[in-house]
Amino acid sequence: MPDTAWLRFLRAHAAITRELSSRLEALHELTLSDFDVLVQLYYAEGRRMRRIDLARSVLLTASGITRLLDGLESAGLVAKDRCDSDARVTYAVLTKAGVKKIEDARESHLADIEELFGSQFSPDEREQLAELLGRLPLAHTAEPCSK
């Protein structure tokens, strides 16, 4: 088996996200993706983002974001906001409850990540790992023009 690194990457992802998800779900009733989205919003200017940008930043499809935000909206963590200059776009805004939620959940979740992932590495190794992983392609950004 030549692609050892890839296989370990795959397996580690499956194992860690499974565990992380179940803890996050149990303690805060959030999905990994939910958390991811909330954090993105938390750090965004005005705690709001266009849905499409949100989708790109967490690597979900547009429809994925729609349904995920549906859930967060009905939980009251996020609200919609229309855009004056462009009626096509909708903003997702963190509500007060959303801010509280993320601040509540952050600590335990970061601790879980540290336990299952970070703690396996020394500071140098973390940096190196981040650098290596940072080279991987994130976007199948643009199809090369066929013409």
By CB under 8 A, name the one of 85, 134, 143, 144 that touches a copy of itself.
Answer: 134
**Distance of alpha carbon 73 from alpha carbon 64, whole angstroms:** 14
C-beta pairs of 6-13 under 8 Å, 24+ apart in sequence: none
Exposure string of 30-58, with b = 16+ CB inside 10 Å and e = fewer, is bebbbbbbbebbeebeebebbbeebbbeb
Stretch that binds DNA, among 2-10, 39-47, 62-70, 111-119 (CB under 7 A): 62-70
- Return the axis-axis angle of helices 32-43 and 51-58, rounded to nearest 10°: 120
Q: Which is nearer to a copy of itself, 140 or 147 (CB)?
A: 140
Cβ-proximal residues to 50 (8 Å cutoff; 6+ apart), any chain = 83, 89, 90, 91, 92
Contact map string, positions 67 to 106, toward a copy of itself, x by CB under 8 A: ----------------------------------------
Stretch that binds a copy of itself, among 44-52, 65-73, 81-89, 115-123 (CB under 8 A): 115-123
Question: Would you tell me which residues interact with a copy of itself (CB under 8 A)?
Answer: 1-6, 8-19, 32, 36, 39, 43, 58-59, 110, 113-114, 116-118, 120-121, 125-130, 132-140
Question: Would you tell me which residues interact with DNA (CB under 7 A)?
Answer: 14, 18, 22, 31-34, 50-52, 55, 59-69, 71, 80, 85-91
